[in-house]
Structure 1
Amino acid sequence: MKTKINIIGSGFSSLAAACYLAQDGHEVTIFEKNSTIGGRARQLKRDGFTFDIGPTWYWMPDIFERFFADFDRKPSDFYTLEKLSPAYRVYFGQNDAIDIADNLPAIENAFDRIEKGSGAKLKKFIDKAKRNYEIAITDLVYRPGLSPLELITTDTIMNIGQFAGTVSGDVRKLFKDKRLIQTVEFPVLFLGAKPSNTPSFYNFMNYADFGLGTWYPEHGMYSVVSAMGNLAESLGVRIITDANVSEIKVEDGRATGIVANGKYYPSPIVLSGADYHHTETLLAENLRSYSEKYWEKKTFAPSALLFYVGFDRKLDNIEHHTLFFDADFDEHAKAIYDTPAWPEKPLFYASFPSVTDKQAAPHGKEAGIFLIPLAPGIEDTPTLRNRYFEVIVNRFETVTGQSIRNNVIFSESFCVNDFVSEYNSYKGNAYGLANTLFQTAFLRPKIKSRKVKNLFFTGQLTVPGPGVPPALISGKLAAALIKKQLKP
C-alpha cells in the first residue's frame, strides 16, 4: 500500500532511506533546511575553487557498491572513482614522514624501514582486521540495534575477547615506534573515539584503510550526494530545499506529519535524518525518548575547526590527504574527551583536492581544506579561529619547508557555532556519537521512537554510527523498519 512519508534532512542517511522507501512504492518527500541537499556533505564554491564542506574521505567502496546494487546500479553509473596513490601522507615533523601506499606490501615495507620486523607484524594485524571487517560488514552493521541478541553469532562468540581489549592496547603490543603506533591508530578516529576506548574488534577500520584503500570520486564527495539525489528523484522522491522543519505533529501518541516554513505537511510516517537531539526538541518534552541528562552523559565524537583556503600557487611536499601528527596525540585527545578545551598544540589534517582534481582549483593554484578536531560545545569566536589559523600556517610552513602565508587568496572557516546553526548539531558535534563499547549497536539511540508511533530516526546518532558508509547503512535499516511497520 502506498504511504506518504516525510523525511527531515537530506544527508546520506536520509537520501539512502528515501531511495529504499520510494523503491517500495511509497510517496516520499524530503525537507532540507539549507538551499542544497547533502546535509553536512555540502559544497563551497568561490573564485573558481571547489571544496567539500564536510566529508572528504571515500573509504569502504564495497558499501557504496552494495547500496547502488540494491537499485540495479553501480557507482560508475554516476561518478568516476580514482584510487589514490599514495593514499595519504603522515608528517611527524620536519623531514619525517611516511607515505601510506595503495597496497599492503608497500605499506609493510614502509613500516620495516622505520622499525625492523614491523611489516610482518602489520600483515598479521591486518589479516585479523580483515576477518573482523568481513564479520562486521557482511552481518553485524546491517542489524537495526533492537536487541543485544543481534550481536550473538558464531563469529562474535569466537571473537568475544576482541570486545574486551582495545585497539590502542593491541597496537602497542605490536609496535614500539611512536610514529607507527599513531599511523595504525589513525583510522579508528573515524569512529569518533580514542583508540584506548575503542574495542579491539573495531580494528576492521585498519583493513578499510590499508586493505581497501582510499579513493576519490571525481569532483569530490559531493558527486556522491548528487548521485544519490538523482537516484532518489528518478525513483519519485520529491526534494524540497530551504524548508526548515519546526515541529513534528503528534496525535494520540502517533506522528501525523511535520510543519515546515509554517506549513503543515501531513504524513502517517515521519523519518528524521537530522540531528537526533534536535529532532526530539520538535516534540513536546513528554514525547521525547531521551532526556537532556541522557545526552549530557554521552561521549560525542569531536567537533572541528575547518578552513577552506585558496592558494595562488601549487604547494610543495603535500599529497591529496596529508596528516600532521607533529604533536602529542594523547594531549590533544585529552582536550577533546577528558577536559574539553582548545588544544595547546593540535594535530590537524589537510586535504588538497586539486592535487588529484584539476577542476578543484584554477590552473596553477591550490585548494586546501584544513581540519582541527575539537571538543564539542567549547567556545567558538572569530579571535580563536584566527589564532588557530596562524597555528596551522606556522606548523605547515615548518613541517613542509615552504612559505605559504603570502600565497593565501582567501580563507573561510567553519566551526562549532556553524555546526549548530547550519545543521542543528548537538553541541556543534561534527561526527555524531562516538563508537565506544557502551555506545555500540543496541546501546545507541534507537531508530524507532520509543514514545511516538510511526516516528523514526536515521543517521550518525543512531545505528550503526558515524561515517559516510555507516550513514548509507543507517538509511537502509530505517527504511526496513518502516517497511516492517507498514506491513498489514
Structure 2
Amino acid sequence: MMKTIAIIGSGFSALAAACYLAKQGNTVTIYEKNDIIGGRARQFKKDGFTFDMGPSWYWMPDVFERFFNDFDKKTNDYYELIKLNPAYRVYFGVDDFINIYDNLEAIQTTFETIEKGSGKKLETFIKQAKSNYDIAIKDLVYRPGISALELITLETTLKLHQFFSTVSNDIRRKFKNERLIQILEFPVLFLGAKPSKTPSFYNFMNYADFGLGTWHPKTGMFDVVRAIEKLATELGVSIKTNSSIEKIVVENKITTGIIIDGKFIKADIVLSGADYHHTETLLDKEHRAYSEKYWESRVFAPSSLLFFVGFNKKIENISHHALFFDVDFDQHAVDIYDDPKWPEAPLFYANFPSKTDTTAAPEGMESGFFLIPLAPGIKDNESLREEYFEKIMDRFEKLTDQKIKNNIIFKRSFCKNDFVTDYNAYKGNAYGMANTLLQTAFLRPKLKSKKVKNLYFTGQLTVPGPGVPPALISGKLVAELIQKSFRS
C-alpha cells in the first residue's frame, strides 16, 4: 500500500529521497523552512551577480550520473558540465603556486618538477586510491549503515589495514615535499576531519580529485538543485517553501504527522533531511534516540565564514577555484579540532565562478566567494567577520599581486550564527559530522529512528556522510529502507 510521506527540508538528500519515494508511487510533499529550496546549496542573487551559497565543487560525476540513471535520465538531460583546467590553484606564497591540471599525466609532471621521483609515486598512489574508490563508491557507500557486517567483504578484508592507518601517515611515507603533502591531504578535508584522523581507506578522495577531475555545472551548482527539483515535480512531488516544522507528532510511539503554523498535517511516514539534532528537538524528549551528551561527544566537521563579494572589475592572476595555503596548515587544523578558536592565520578558499560562467557577474565584473573553515560552536559577530575579511583580502592582494579592495561593490557574510538560523545546524556546523574511524558507516546516527516507528532521517549527519554525492546516496538509501518497511 502506498503511503503519504512528509519530508522536512529540501537539501540534496531530501530532494533525492523525494524522487525515489515518488517513483515508488507514494504521495510525497517536501516542507522547506526557507523561501528557496536547496538547503545549504541555495542560490543568492544581487545586482546582476549570482552565487552558490554552499557547495561549489562538483566532484564524483559518476555518482550524479548514477542518480539520474535510476530514473532513466542523464545529467545532460538537465544541465551541462564543464571540466575545469586547471581544476584549481594552490598558493603557498608570493610567486609560489601550483596548478592542478585536468589530467593525471599533467599532475604527475607537476609533481616531478617539485620532488624528483614523486611523479611515479603519485601514479602508484592514485592507482590504489582508484581501487578504494571502486570498492567504496560503487558498493560500500550504498549500504544503509545498519550493521558492521556491511563492511565485511573480500575486498575490504584485503584492505583492513587501511582502516587502522591514516591518510596523513600514508601520504607522508611516500612524499617528502610539504607542498605536495598538503595538496594530497586537501581532498579528505571534504570528509570533515583532519587527515591525521581520517582512515587511509578514504584516500579514494584523491582519485575523485586527480582521477575524475573537477567540474562546473554551466551556471553553477544550483543547476543541480533545479534539475532534481524538475525531476521531483515530474514524478509528482509537491514542494512547499516558508514551511517551518514546529513539532513531529507521535502517538503510541508511531509518528502520525507534523505541525506547521499550528496546523496538523497527517503523514504515514515522516522523513527529515534537516539537521538530525534539530529534528530530534521537534520530538518530545522520551522519543529522542540520541542524548545531548551523545551529540557533545561527536566530532563535527567545521563551520565556515563565507563572503559573497561583487567586484566592478575582472580579477587577475586567479583560477576558478583557488586554495591559499600560505600559512601553517597544521595550526589551523588545531584551531578547528583540538583547541577551538578563531585562527590567528587562517587558510582560506576563493571561488570565482564568473571565470567560467559569464552569467555569474555583469560584463567586465567578477563574482567572488571566499571561505574560511572555522570550529563549530565558537563566538560569531560582525566585528570578527570584518576583521577576518580584511586579513584574507590583504593576503589575497599580496599573493595575486593586485589591488581589489577598492573595487568591491558589495559583500555579504555568512557564518556560524547564520548556519544556526537558516539551517538549524548543530553548533553552526557547515558540513555535518566528520568521517573518522569511529564515525563511519554503522557508527553514524541511523537512517531509521530507534524509538519512533515511521520516522526516518537522511543527510550529512547520517550515512554515508558529508558532501553532495553522499547526500544523493543518503536519499536513495533511506528511500530503499522505507520501501522495505512497507513489505515487512
Q: Distance in 1 between matches of 2:37 and 2:328?
A: 37
Residues in 1 aligned to 2:417 and 2:261: alpha-carbon distance in whole angstroms: 23
Alignment of 1:409-420 (within 5 A): 409-420=409-420
User: Equivalent residue of 2:39, what SS?
Assistant: coil
2:433 is the counterpart of 1:433: yes
Unaligned runs of 5+ in 2: none
Q: For 1:120, give the aligned amino acid.
A: K
Q: Deviation of residue 486 (structure 1)?
A: 1.1
Q: For residues 380 and 325 of structure 2, what CA distance do their matches in structure 1 show?
A: 24
Report matched runs for 1:458-473 at 5 Å. Answer: 458-473=458-473
How far apart in 2 are the matches of 1:351 and 1:256?
Answer: 44
- Residues of 2 paired with 1:310 and 1:5: CA distance? 41
> Superposed, which structure 2 residues align to 1:244-283 within 5 Å?
244-283=244-283
What is aligned with 2:206?
206
Q: Distance in 2 between matches of 1:123 and 1:351?
A: 28
Q: Please give the secondary structure, in 2, of the residue aligned with 1:40.
A: helix
> Mapping of 1:369-388 within 5 angstroms?
369-388=369-388
Q: Which runs of 5+ in 1 are unaligned?
A: none
Structure 1: which amino acid aligns with 2:94?
Q
Q: What is the aligned partner in structure 1 of residue 50 from structure 2? A: 50
Stretch deviating more after TM superposition (255-264 or 89-98): 255-264
| CA deviation vs aligned residue, 1:126-181 (integer Å, no higher than 9, x gap) | 00000000000111000000000000000000110100110000010111111000
Q: What is the one-letter code of the residue matched to 2:228?
A: M
1:357 aligns to 2:357 (yes or no): yes
Aligned-partner residue type, residue 451 of structure 2: K
Aligned to 2:67: 67
In 2, the alpha carbon distance for the partners of 1:272 and 1:36 equals: 17
Which residues in structure 2 correspond to 1:181-220 (within 5 Å)? 181-220=181-220
Matching residue of 1:241: 241
Q: What is the CA distance between 1:299 and its match in structure 2?
A: 0.2
SS at match of 1:459: coil
- Distance of 1:184 and 1:296 partners within structure 2: 30
Structure 1 residue 247, shift from structure 2 partner = 0.3
2:348: which partner in 1? Answer: 348
Counterpart of 1:297 in structure 2: which amino acid? Answer: S
Alpha-carbon distance in 2 for matches of 1:398, 1:258? 53
2:32 pairs with 1:32: yes
CA distance in 2 between counterparts of 1:213 and 1:260 reads 43
Please report how far the alpha carbon of residue 487 of structure 1 lies from its aligned counterpart in structure 2 after TM superposition: 1.4
Structure 2 SS opposite 1:220? coil
Instruction: Write the mapping of 1:29-428 to structure 2, written as runs, cut at 5 A.
Output: 29-428=29-428
**Residue 201 of structure 2: SS of its match in structure 1?**
helix
Q: Matched residues in 2 for 1:354 and 1:481: separation?
A: 41
- Cα deviation for residue 261 of structure 1 reads 2.1
TM-score by length of 1: 1.00
- Amino acid in the other structure paired with 1:290: Y
Residues 427-474 of structure 1: CA distance to partner in whole angstroms, max 9, x if unpaired?
000000000000000000000000000000000000000000000000
Instruction: Spell out, residue by residue over 1:304-335, the C-alpha distance to the aligned partner (whole angstroms, 9 max, x if none).
Output: 00000000100111000000000101100000
Aligned partners of 1:487 and 1:14: how far apart in 2? 22
The aligned amino acid for 1:160 is L
Question: Aligned partners of 2:476, 2:50: CA distance in 1, in Å?
Answer: 30
Cα distance in structure 2, aligned partners of 1:403 and 1:277? 44
The one-letter code sitting in structure 1 at the alignment partner of 2:82 is: E
Q: Indicate whether 1:16 and 2:16 are aligned.
A: yes
SS in 1 for 2:445: coil
Who is 2:481 aligned against?
A: 481
Distance 2:30 2:387 in 1: 39
Given residue 427 of structure 1, which amino acid in structure 2 is its aligned partner? K
Query: How far apart are 1:201 and its partner, in Å?
Result: 0.1
Deviation at 1:36, TM superposition (A): 0.8
Give the letter aligned to residue 450 of structure 2: R
Q: Residue 17 of structure 1 aligns to which amino acid in structure 2?
A: A
Query: 1 CA distance for matches of 2:304 and 2:260?
Result: 29
Letter in 2 for 1:171: I
Matched AA of 2:274: A
Cα deviation for residue 258 of structure 1 reads 0.5
In 1, the alpha carbon distance for the partners of 2:106 and 2:264 equals: 58
Deviation at 1:295, TM superposition (A): 0.3
Distance in 2 between the 1:280 and 1:109 partners?
51
SS of the residue 1:188 aligns to: helix
Tell me the secondary structure at the aligned position of residue 399 of structure 2. helix
User: What is the CA–CA distance in structure 1 between the aligned matches of 2:152 and 2:261, rounded to whole Å?
Assistant: 45
What's the offset of the Cα at 1:260? 1.4
The amino acid across from 2:320 in the alignment is H
* 1:221 shift after superposition: 0.4
Whichever residue aligns with residue 337 of structure 1, its letter is Y
Amino acid corresponding to residue 21 of structure 2 in structure 1: L
Which TM-score applies when normalising by structure 2? 1.00
* In structure 1, C-alpha distance between the alignment counterparts of 2:44 and 2:256, rounded to whole Å: 36
Amino acid at match of 1:405: K
Q: Distance in 2 between the 1:296 and 1:380 partners?
A: 19
Query: Quick one: which amino acid aligns to residue 27 of structure 1?
Result: T
Q: Which amino acid aligns with 2:364?
A: G
Q: Letter of the 2:162 partner, please give it.
A: Q
Give percent identity, aligned residues only: 67
CA distance in 1, matches of 2:195, 2:131: 19
Task: Look up the match of 2:6.
Answer: 6
SS of the residue corresponding to residue 258 of structure 1 reads strand
Q: Distance in 2 between matches of 1:339 and 1:475?
A: 34
The aligned amino acid for 2:406 is N
